[in-house]
A and B are shown apart, each in its own frame.
Chain A
Amino acid sequence: MSKILEIKDLQRNFSVGGEVVHALKGISFDIMTGEFVTIMGSSGSGKTTLLNILGCLDKPTSGEYFLDGTAINTKSRDELATLRNHKIGFVFQSYNLLPKTSALENVELPLLYNAEISSTERKKRATEALKAVNLSDRMSHTPTQLSGGQQQRVAIARALVNEPVMILADEATGNLDSRTSYEIMALMQDLNINHGKTIVFVTHEPDIATFSSRTIRLKDGQIQADIINQNRQNATDVLAALPSNNE
C-alpha cells in the first residue's frame, strides 16, 4: 500500500483581532491507499481547519503536506483548484447540489472544469457514478424531488465522478436521520471495501466512527489519539438490525 497523504508537523495560525490563534499545533500522520479514516473531535478541536488543508482549500502556516506525492505548500490558488479537481472528491454536510439542476448534471459538474474530458465521456462517467450510488432511476430528478439521503448520494456520485485519490467527507451524515446515516455509511463502506476508495470522514458522532478502519481524534489542535479500529462495524448489518421503518 502506498501513502496517499502525508502530513508533517502541520501548523495553522489565524490572527483574530491582533491575537494569534493556534488552530493546529503540529500534526503529523500518513494515510494509506484504501484506508477509511474518521477524524473526530469536538468543536474548536481544529478538525475543520485540518479538513480545509487536507481538501487543498487552505494552506498550512508551517509544516508539510503531500497529497499523492505532490507537495501542496508551494502551489498557487489556481494549481490548488486543479489539484482539487483531479484528486479530491468532496462530500458536504448540506449536500451543496445546484438547485433546479438534474442529478446527472450535478454529477457532471466537476468534469466540466476538466477540459480534457469530452462531453460523451462526461455523460458516461456521470451515469456510471450515479449507478454506483444506486440512483440510476433518479438521473433526471432535481434536488427538490429527492430525499435527503438521495441528495447525499448524488453528492457522493459527484465526488466519485472525477475518480479522485481521496474522498473527503465533512459531517456527511450530519443532516440525516440515523437510518439514512447508516445507509450512507453502508455506501461509503462499499466504496471503501469493494472499490478500494480512500475515504477521510470528518465527524463528531462517535457511532459513525465505528464504521471506519481508523480514527484520529483531535483535541485543541493536537492529535489526542490515532487508533486502528479492531471491531469495525458493518453498516449493512446495523441497518438490517434496525426496526423496520413504519413511517
Chain B
Amino acid sequence: MNIVNLLRIAFRALQRNKLRAFLTMLGIIIGVAAVIVMVAIGQGSKQSIHDQLANMGSNMITVLPASNISGGVKIAGSSFQTLTEKDIIALKQEGKYISEVSPAVTSRGQSINGAMNWPTTMTGVTPEYLDIRKLTIKSGRSLLPRDVTTSAKVCLIGQTVADNLYPNGENPVGRVIRFGNIPFQIVGLLDEKGFNAFGQDQDDILVAPVSTVQNRILATIYYQYIYASASSEQVTDLATAEVTAILRKSHRLKVSDQNDFTVRTQEQLISTLSATTSLLTILLTVIAGISLVIGGIGIMNIMYVSVTERTREIGLRMSIGAKGKDILMQFLIEAILISLTGGIIGVLLGFISTKMVTLLLNWPTLISESSVILSFIVCALTGIFFGYYPAQKASRLDPIDALRYE
C-alpha cells in the first residue's frame, strides 16, 4: 500500500462528508487562532514595555559613589570622590560581560547664544556614552576620542536646548555657544528621544568630552558616574557582579569593607514588568491551549462515531484487500488531515484576528513564530493522539462482522 493511495483514500473519505469534516475542524481552527492571537497580544505588550525600557538603555549599568560615614556623619554619595580613571581602565581591561564603559561628570549651568540663554546640564563623557544611552546623531558628527584627549571645547546639543538657543530654526551645528563662560563649538545635533518614563526631558542636554568638563569647568580628577552596558540583557546580572568585583579590587577594599560605590541596573524594573506580562501570556496561552485540547477531543469523538457509522465500509474495504494497517492509516490520516487543515485555517484566522486587534483596538501585538510552529505541531499531535484510538478500533474489526453490521 503506498502512501499516495492512502492519502487519496483518506481525502476522498473526507470529501464525502465536507460539512462534518468542517465542523470537526472548527474546534481546531478556533483553538489555533486563539493561541496565536493570545500569544500575539501577550508578546506585543511585553515587547512594547521592553522597547520603552530599551530606549533608555536596557543594558545600562550605572555606578555611583556610595554615601559614606565620615566621623559619624552620613555624607551624600555625590560629594564622595571615589571613581577615577583607574576604574575605567580596570573595567575596560577586565570586564568580560560589559561591552562599553564611559565615565560621566555633570555640570548645571546656563547655555548662552548671544541674547538667547537656557539653563541646562552639560554631561562630560567619552564617545562610548552615546552607545550606552542609545543616543544618535541627527546631523553633524559625534564625539571623537581625540576630543577627549585634547579636552576639546566641542559639544553635542539636544533638541530642547537647540530650540531654545536657536528659536528661528537655524542649524546649530558649527556654531559656538558659551557654557560656564567657556566657548563650545557645537559639532553635532542629537536625535530627539522625548520624555523618559519618569517625565524627564531627555533632549535637554549638552554632551561634551569628559576631560573638557573635568578640567575646564569642574577642576576635578574624579568622576561622578560610571556608565557601562552589559553585552546583552541576559547577562546583566553577571555584568553587575563583575563590575562590583572589579571596582572592589581597583579600590583595594578588604573583604570586611562595605562598597564605596553603588551599582544600579534597570534589570529589576524590567524583570518586574516582564514577570507580569509573562504571567499574562502564560494565562492566555493556557486558556487557548485548553480550547485546542477540546478541539482534539472533538476530533476523537467524531472519529469514533465515524468508525461506527462506516463499519460496513470498513468491512468492504477489508474484503477487497485492505489490511488492518491500511484501515488504521486511513483513519489516522483522516484525523491528521482534519487537524492540519484546521491548523492552517486557524493560523490564517489567527493572523487576521491579530491584525484586527491591532487595527481596531490599537493594542500592540507581536505574532511570534514559535507560537505558530508550536500550535501547528500541537495540531498534528492532536490528530495523531486523538485519531489513533478510533483508527485502531477500526483496524481491529473482523471483516465478517463488519460486512454484516446493521
Contact = CB atoms under 8 A, between A and B. Distances in A.
Interface of A: 52, 55, 57-58, 77-78, 81-82, 84-86, 90, 92, 96, 98-101, 105, 109-110, 112-115, 158, 162
Interface in B295-339: 312-313, 315-326
B326 A113 contact: yes
B323 A96 contact: no
A49 B5 CA distance: 32
A85 B1 CA distance: 11
B16 A57 contact: no
Given A78-B324, A81-B324, A81-B326, 4 more contacts: A52-B400, A85-B320, A113-B320, A115-B1
Binding site secondary structure of chain B? helix
A113 B2 CA distance: 8
Nearest to B17: A100
A43 to B, nearest CB: 13
A115 B2 contact: yes
A113 B5 contact: yes
A125 to B, nearest CB: 14
Given A112-B8, A113-B5, A115-B5, A96 B321 contact: no
25 contacts: A55-B319, A57-B403, A58-B400, A78-B324, A81-B321, A81-B323, A81-B326, A82-B321, A85-B321, A90-B319, A92-B316, A92-B403, A96-B316, A98-B16, A100-B16, A100-B17, A101-B16, A105-B12, A110-B320, A113-B1, A113-B317, A113-B321, A114-B321, A115-B5, A162-B320
Contact of B403 (A96, A113, A115): A96
- Residue picked from B5, B9, B318, most chain A C-beta under 10 Å: B5
A81 B12 CA distance: 22
A78 B319 contact: no
A158 B321 CA distance: 12
Contacts of B350: none
B399 interface: yes
A44 B399 CA distance: 20
A100 B20 CA distance: 14
Interface size class of B (residues with CB under 8 A): 20 to 34
Contact of B317 (A77, A109, A115): A109
B5 to A, nearest CB: 5
Given A100-B16, A115-B5, A57 B324 contact: no
A239 B323 CA distance: 40
B159 to A, nearest CB: 71
A122 to B, nearest CB: 9
B313 A98 contact: yes
Contacts of A81: 318, 321-324, 326
Given A92-B403, A96-B403, A112-B5, A78 B12 contact: no
Contacts of B318: 57, 81
- Residue picked from A57, A92, A112, most chain B C-beta under 10 Å: A112
- Residue picked from A57, A78, A115, most chain B C-beta under 10 Å: A57
Query: Closest 6 CB pairs between A and B?
Result: A85-B321, A100-B16, A110-B320, A113-B321, A96-B316, A81-B323
Contact of A57 (B5, B12, B317, B400): B400
Contact of A82 (B16, B319, B323, B325): B323
Nearest to A87: B321
Contacts of A85: 320-321
Nearest to A109: B320
Contact of B322 (A52, A90, A113, A162): A113
Contact of A158 (B12, B315, B320, B403): B320
A84 B320 contact: yes
Contacts of A112: 5, 8-9
B262 to A, nearest CB: 76
B22 to A, nearest CB: 15
A90 B321 CA distance: 10
A84 B321 contact: yes
A204 to B, nearest CB: 16
Contacts of A99: 16
Nearest to A142: B16
Contacts of B1: 113, 115
Given A99-B16, A101-B12, A57 B323 contact: no
